[in-house]
């Protein structure tokens, strides 16, 4: 009888050690899913078009659409539609050559409502030449509109 008890105790000990070793070397039975990084929905935002105009109506809609202005134009308007932007800054830069002559930035704007920005005539009028207005979402360029002042 002692042999049977000794055999049972030896078997249980060996089985327990083997079970502990197997558990130590195995992965979790329930593996945790890989964490999905949070992605800002703004990364999908596009602005397909912007329009330039010499005037806007009483509702803020662009009229007199053009890409050519005179040195005496009082304001140059840029109108565009932005989808909802929640967490990234929209930058608008007005350029004369490579010089930044106007800036605007906004966050939490959009919702498909037209946005109209303007570049005011500087004292003495605009210099003749080639200009552009560029919109960026963070560091990503969305759209550029080129225009000339004669």
Q: Residue 39 and residue 6: Cα distance in Å, rounded?
A: 62
**Predicted pLDDT of residue 118:** 96
Instruction: Decide: 132 and 51 in contact? Cβ < 8 Å.
Output: no
Alpha-carbon gap, residue 53 to 133, rounded angstroms: 12
> Which neighbouring-strand residues pair with 102?
94
What is the third-level CATH fold of 41-149? Immunoglobulin-like (2.60.40)
* 4 pLDDT tier (thresholds 50, 70, 90): very low
pLDDT at 95 over 80: yes
- Looking at residue 57, its pLDDT comes to 94
Provide the pLDDT for residue 85.
78
Tokens of 18: 């083997």
What's the pLDDT at 45? 77
Residue extents of the structural domains in the chain: 41-149
């Amino acid at each position: 009888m002692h042999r049977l008890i000794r055999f049972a105790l030896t078997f249980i000990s060996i089985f327990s050690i083997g079970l502990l070793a197997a558990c130590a070397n195995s992965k979790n039975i329930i593996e945790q899913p890989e964490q999905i990084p949070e992605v800002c929905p703004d990364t999908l935002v596009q602005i397909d078009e912007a329009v330039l105009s010499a005037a806007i109506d009483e509702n803020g809609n662009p009229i007199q659409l053009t890409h050519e202005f005179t040195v005496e134009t009082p304001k140059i308007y840029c109108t565009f539609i932005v989808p909802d932007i929640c967490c990234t800054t929209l930058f608008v830069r007005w350029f004369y050559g490579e010089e930044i002559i106007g800036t605007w930035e906004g966050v939490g704007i959009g919702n498909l409502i037209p946005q109209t920005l303007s570049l005011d005539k500087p004292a003495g009028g605009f210099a003749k030449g080639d200009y552009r207005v560029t919109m960026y979402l963070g560091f990503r360029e969305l759209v550029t509109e080129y225009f000339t002042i004669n």
